Amino acid sequence: MNLSQDLSIIDLFIQASFAVKLVMGLLIGVSVMSWYWIFRKWFAIRDARARTEEFERDFWSGGDLNALFQSAVNDRHSAGALERIFEAGYREFTKLRGQKSLDPSAVVDGIRRAMRATYQRELDDLDAHLSFLASVGSVSPYVGLFGTVWGIMHAFRGLANVASATLSAVAPGIAEALVATAIGLFAAIPAVLAYNSFAHDVDRLSVRFESFMEEFANILQRQLK
């Protein structure tokens, strides 16, 4: 086998030491999982943004609140995050406004608490698995570097049994070590980019949810007067 054949990616993996193979396999598995969650979160956030925009159009078009509430109740499983926040707030409003012993400020506080609880659940759902992408982005290069260091150590140990150190003797060991670093970067870079993008999108949705909650609470407060 000549040097160019020795340096093919598959041959480098086959000839690598067990520790380097383990590092490469781990990084490949982590990369596959990160891509799975990248696509899942991309679709989830895109859907949440579309449903939020649709509900905002329906809400601010001046439609009847009771009709919007019934629609949210009937389509609870397919409703968007903002629609569920609205449902929680309006449900609490209809429950508390009939209690004559409560003053308007207590009713509004109850509405805000109900919406805040739903808001936290929806935000936790949008944030789910983002920490995994952050961990992949921060840890994978170091795992790949560990494989590189181990591979170089293995290559230099092999030189002890060689009379003269030539490029053909050193290159395969160095190359297999560098492949581990390359796989680590291949796993880390998409995860970092996806995490930053998704975190930004979730923050923007969070601001929209909070703004809606305040405006909706003010609308319900005016109905109590």
Q: What distances in angstroms separate CA 65 from CA 61, 77, 144, 173, 186, one per listed residue?
A: 11, 19, 56, 70, 50
In the chain, where does DSSP find H-type helix?
3-6, 9-15, 18-60, 65-74, 81-96, 104-127, 130-158, 167-224
* pLDDT, tens digit, 9 for 90 and up, residues 62-120: 778 888 888 888 877 778 899 999 999 999 998 888 776 778 888 889 999 999 999 99
| Per-residue confidence (pLDDT) for residue 33, from 0 to 100 | 95
Q: How far is CA 14 from the centre of its chain?
A: 34
Confidence of residue 164 (pLDDT cuts 50, 70, 90): low
Residue 171 has pLDDT above 80, yes or no: no
Q: How far is CA 105 from the centre of its chain?
A: 38
Asked if 53 contacts 82 with a C-beta cutoff of 8 angstroms, the reply is no
Domain that holds residue 41: 3-224
| Per-residue confidence (pLDDT) for residue 3, from 0 to 100 | 45
Please give the average per-residue pLDDT across 149-165, as a whole number.
70
Q: What distances in angstroms separate CA 79 from CA 2, 209, 212, one per listed residue?
A: 62, 14, 16
Higher pLDDT, 82 or 162: 82
* pLDDT, tens digit, 9 for 90 and up, residues 1-34: 444 445 566 666 666 677 778 888 899 999 999 9
Domains held by the chain: number: 1
